[in-house]
Structure 1
Amino acid sequence: MRDHSAAIAGYWDAAAASFDEEPDHGLRADATRAAWAALLRSWLPAPPAEVLDAGCGTGSLSLLLAEDGHRVVGVDLSRKMIERARAKFAAAQVEGRSVEGRFLVGDAAVPPTDGTSFDAVLCRHLIWTLPDPVAALREWVARLRPGGRLVLVEGRWGRSGEGSVPYADGAGGLPWQGGVGAADLAACVRPLVAGLRIEPLSDVQDLWGGAVSDERYALIGEAGEAGEAGEIRG
């Protein structure tokens, strides 16, 4: 099978310069930044925690986590995205903010973290780009410590399925191109975790910089011992 990772990385490298222009990417508006910060606090363990940001992009969520006292490892296939994430942390440190994080260029579906375990794995709007999302879910859960949190911010937007135009060379035939609905994602995650809950996010306009009409949500899974399954309450 041909390796298309270079073409896909190139696509996201080209997108890096304008990536933060989207309200939920750059978090430049105070209300948007505050909305994401509040949700991250509600989803993640109390700081300081070791957090893997899989598909971190330009590092905006990583920076929010680090500002709250978490130790963050960000992974992205795009070198240009990683450069921008590192620059954000460097700028924060120059401003006197105490933030701790490191960023790695690599496949977020199989993060190159040398067997490190984490208190939480965060992934936002990445799953739709993966050729084998279920394998990635297993990989992320395997990196969680007992009681750790898997936080997936996902949605179903745009066209999907047969006939959809691939977003990049080599990205054709993606199983979840255009996103994945909460029920379908929960069905894949539930066997892997000890507890699970879903939070609808479509109506929280501050997160997106305005009203949206598609399905957006967070799925929060809690790691446990092998064979445990259930629902997170609250």
Structure 2
Amino acid sequence: MTSRTASIAAYWDAAAADFDEEPDHGLRAEDVRSEWTRLLRAWMPREPVDVLDVGCGTGSLSLLLAADGHRVTGVDLSSRMVGQARAKTETAGFGARFLTGDAMRPPTGEERFGAVLARHLLWTLPDPEAALRDWVSRLLPGGRLILVEGRWREPGQRGAPYVAGAEELPWHGGVGAEQLAAAVRPLVAELRLESLSGNAALWGRPVTDERYVLIARG
């Protein structure tokens, strides 16, 4: 593990205890949880598939997917986030696998997935385009890549400064929809974008920055 990777892991380990206090992280409010459930069902294949949730955090979306019958593998660099995700799904009575590892190179070997999901992750990566190539390579034919992204007013957790040198990250502060689509389009058969900025129920409050989902087929 490089010193920067270690710093990033330490940052998210420190954020883990309070992470779920954000409405769209913990999904504790019924209306927020219901809206994420509705949209995930619209984005995912109808039949249960193997899902790779990269940068899974505390596993809130993994839990929703597992509850719908999908076979979920969550990966996060933070061991504390992974621990909370594992406890959350076990307490709810659903099976899911959680691994501590680099989301740019998930430690899942040669496994292939019916869907790869990432939410609010690309801005943290030193080479997001390499990560996109890796994730697409893990899809089964016709599998779905689902990226919930945006341009953030305040990068970091609860406005706390991110790791030293973060301003040098390629997509620090987020990535716009058209820029991300341009990066993904050569890698997939088709893609579409949906704006999420106007959906206050997703975030537990109105938002004014750019938020969207990109859904692609491998």
Distance in 1, Cα, partners of 2:107 & 2:165 = 22
Match of 1:174 in 2: 169
Distance in 2, Cα, partners of 1:76 & 1:173 = 22
Distance in 2, Cα, partners of 1:211 & 1:74 = 28
Q: 1:47, CA displacement in angstroms? A: 3.1
% same residue: 64
Match of 1:50 in 2: 50
1:100 is paired with a residue whose SS is: coil
Q: Deviations over 1:178-206 (max 9, x none)?
A: 00000000000000000000000000110
Q: 1:166, CA displacement in angstroms? A: 6.2
Distance in 2, Cα, partners of 1:167 & 1:153 = 20
Calculate the TM-score normalised by the size of structure 1. Answer: 0.88
Match of 2:143 in 1: 148
Distance in 1, Cα, partners of 2:4 & 2:46 = 39
1:8·1:171 contact (CA, 8 Å) conserved in 2? no
* 1:82-101 mapped onto 2 (5 Å cutoff): 82-93=82-93, 99-101=94-96
Distance in 2, Cα, partners of 1:137 & 1:86 = 25
Q: Deviations over 1:137-163 (max 9, x none)?
A: 000000000110000000001268xxx
For the pair shown, the structure with the greater C-alpha radius of gyration is 1
Distance in 2, Cα, partners of 1:145 & 1:90 = 28
Distance in 1, Cα, partners of 2:101 & 2:151 = 25
Match of 1:227 in 2: none
2:56 is paired with a residue whose SS is: coil
Distance in 2, Cα, partners of 1:19 & 1:72 = 21
Match of 2:70 in 1: 70
Amino acid at match of 2:202: L
Q: 1:206 to 1:159 in 2, by over 3 A?
A: closer
Q: 1:172, CA displacement in angstroms? A: 4.1
Match of 2:15 in 1: 15
Q: Deviations over 1:119-142 (max 9, x none)?
A: 000000000000000000000000
Q: Does 1:219 align with 2:208?
A: no
Q: 1:34 to 1:208 in 2, by over 3 A?
A: same
Distance in 1, Cα, partners of 2:8 & 2:36 = 27
1:7·1:170 contact (CA, 8 Å) conserved in 2? no
Q: 1:90, CA displacement in angstroms? A: 1.4
Distance in 2, Cα, partners of 1:170 & 1:114 = 31
* 1:194-209 mapped onto 2 (5 Å cutoff): 194-209=189-204
Q: 1:170, CA displacement in angstroms? A: 4.9
Distance in 2, Cα, partners of 1:66 & 1:205 = 25
Amino acid at match of 1:117: R
Structure (1 or 2) with the greater helix fraction: 2
Q: Does 1:132 align with 2:127?
A: yes
Calculate the TM-score normalised by the size of structure 2. Answer: 0.95
Q: Deviations over 1:55-78 (max 9, x none)?
A: 000000000000000000000000
Question: Runs of 5+ in structure 2 lacking a partner?
Answer: none
Question: Runs of 5+ in structure 1 lacking a partner?
Answer: 94-98, 224-234
